[in-house]
């Protein structure tokens, strides 16, 4: 059974200390061996965003959550392939926007950067993420601040932003994450983003048999009548076939997860008068987990906006996500769709 995991420790030092008592006060106690002389297993830190070992240890920077334009107007998307985890969310007009989470790598050119939404509270909070955006509505700033999520936004004078001279506002904003990280305060990451489990790990004690996975090598994820994201299995990873990334730099997902979520009204409209939706990344709902050519039906659970997301199969057994790079689609429960190919 999938147990509680300490996200930063892959192995715990296991050397035993030997208690020695001196026979007389005129003898020096034996010199303790250096840590390098012991037989303990090295500590390896694990990324909360991928479940993989952090090659250079934990970075000094916090997780930075960059809001990225996801329409032709903001193409191309820069440095998406350097993100650890990417989430696609519904915004006004039936369009979508990306939240790209960076931790291990901090590119100097990310974009094109757009404004934040209240949905981003539930996206950033599980790993104490700090939002990087071009701006946001005043009510969104208030809610994000109340949730304790730091924000680096251009309209609040954050440094590190620049203009792409080939584009026009609001689609021309770029950001250097090394500059942002230099001003960001370190944050204690409370836990892993998802419940990670190595591929092929057994589930001892599982009492019920879950529905068998389906096979698929293509999928279309519908967010609205106007926006659909198309996917294809290319080698071992799932990749978009209608994405807007710079050529050869799109995100390759070891696992692609579709979450069916409640969507409410954020309480304000955009400049064109479109109501702004708010996806609720809390509670539970149906899920589809794409890994290799296997598509597994599941249920996702997230007790609070800041909690680690867990999964169960159709029989109620705990499911772990294979370590690797993950793309998550936050699809409306009402009106959203997934078609397999």
Tens digit of each residue's pLDDT (9 = 90 or more) over 107-142: 999 999 999 999 999 999 999 999 999 999 999 999
pLDDT of residue 324: 97
Q: Which residue do the tokens 């109340």 mark? A: 146
Q: How far is CA 294 from the centre of its chain?
A: 21
Does 9 score more than 50 pLDDT?
Answer: no
In a domain, 45, yes or no: no
Q: pLDDT > 70: what percent of the chain?
A: 84
pTM, 2 dp = 0.86
Cβ proximity of 12 and 21 under 8 Å: no
Q: Within this chain, do residues 78 and 122 fall inside the same structural domain, yes or no?
A: yes
- Look up the CATH number of the domain holding residue 158: 3.50.90.10
User: CB count, 10 Å around CB of 171?
Assistant: 19
In a domain, 58, yes or no: no
Q: Within this chain, do residues 265 and 164 fall inside the same structural domain, yes or no?
A: no
Residues 6+ apart with CB under 8 A from 61: 103, 106, 181, 184, 186
Q: Within this chain, do residues 319 and 228 fall inside the same structural domain, yes or no?
A: yes
pLDDT of residue 270: 85
Average pLDDT over residues 55-71: 95
Does 41 score more than 70 pLDDT?
Answer: no
Average pLDDT over residues 309-321: 95
Structural domain tally of the chain?
2
How sure is the predictor about 40, in pLDDT bands with cuts at 50, 70 and 90? low
Does 11 score more than 80 pLDDT?
Answer: no
Whole-number Å distance between alpha carbons of 319 and 309:
11
Last residue of a domain, one of 168, 183, 198: 183
In a domain, 153, yes or no: yes
Does 309 score more than 90 pLDDT?
Answer: yes
Average pLDDT over residues 58-67: 97
In a domain, 9, yes or no: no
Q: Residue 118 is part of which domain span?
A: 64-183
Q: Give 89: exposed, middle or buried? Use CB within 10 Å, 0-12, 13-18, 19+.
A: buried
Strand partners, 287: 259, 298
Q: Within this chain, do residues 86 and 174 fall inside the same structural domain, yes or no?
A: yes
Closest alpha carbon to 61 in 94, 124, 6, 104: 104
Q: Within this chain, do residues 233 and 334 fall inside the same structural domain, yes or no?
A: yes
Q: Within this chain, do residues 333 and 236 fall inside the same structural domain, yes or no?
A: yes
In a domain, 126, yes or no: yes
Q: Within this chain, do residues 169 and 89 fall inside the same structural domain, yes or no?
A: yes
Q: Which residue do the tokens 């591929």 mark? A: 199
SS3 127: helix
Does 99 score more than 90 pLDDT?
Answer: yes
pLDDT of residue 16: 34
Strand partners, 222: 228, 337
Q: What are phi and psi of 49, to 5 degrees?
A: -95, -20
């Amino acid at each position: 059974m999938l147990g509680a995991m300490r996200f930063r420790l892959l192995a715990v030092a296991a050397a035993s200390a030997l208690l020695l008592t001196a026979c007389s006060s005129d003898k020096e106690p034996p010199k303790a061996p250096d840590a390098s002389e012991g037989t303990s297993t090295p500590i390896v830190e694990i990324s909360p965003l991928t479940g993989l070992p952090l090659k250079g240890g934990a970075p000094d920077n916090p997780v930075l959550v960059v809001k990225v334009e996801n329409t032709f107007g903001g193409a191309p998307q820069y440095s998406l392939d350097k993100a650890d985890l990417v989430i696609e969310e519904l915004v006004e007009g039936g369009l979508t926007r990306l939240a790209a989470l960076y931790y291990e790598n901090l590119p100097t050119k990310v974009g094109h950067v757009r404004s934040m939404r209240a949905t981003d509270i539930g996206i950033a909070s599980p790993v104490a993420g700090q939002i990087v955006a071009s701006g946001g509505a005043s009510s969104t700033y208030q809610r994000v601040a109340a949730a304790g999520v730091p924000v680096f936004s251009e309209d609040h004078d954050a440094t590190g932003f620049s203009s792409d001279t080939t584009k026009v506002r609001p689609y021309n904003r770029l950001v250097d994450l090394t500059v942002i990280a230099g001003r960001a305060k370190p944050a204690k990451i409370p836990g892993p983003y998802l419940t990670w489990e190595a591929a092929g790990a057994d589930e001892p004690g599982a009492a019920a048999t879950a529905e068998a996975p389906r096979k698929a090598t293509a999928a279309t994820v519908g967010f609205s009548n106007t926006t659909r994201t198309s996917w294809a299995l290319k080698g071992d990873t799932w990749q978009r076939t209608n994405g807007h990334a710079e050529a050869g730099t799109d995100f390759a997902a070891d696992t692609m997860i579709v979450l069916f979520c409640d969507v409410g009204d954020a309480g304000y409209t955009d400049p064109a008068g479109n109501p702004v939706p708010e996806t609720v990344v809390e509670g539970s709902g149906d899920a589809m987990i794409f890994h290799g050519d296997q598509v597994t039906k599941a249920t996702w659970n997230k007790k609070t906006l800041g909690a680690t997301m867990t999964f169960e199969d159709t029989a109620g057994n705990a499911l772990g996500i294979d370590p690797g790079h993950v793309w998550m689609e936050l699809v409306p429960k009402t009106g959203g769709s997934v078609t397999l190919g």
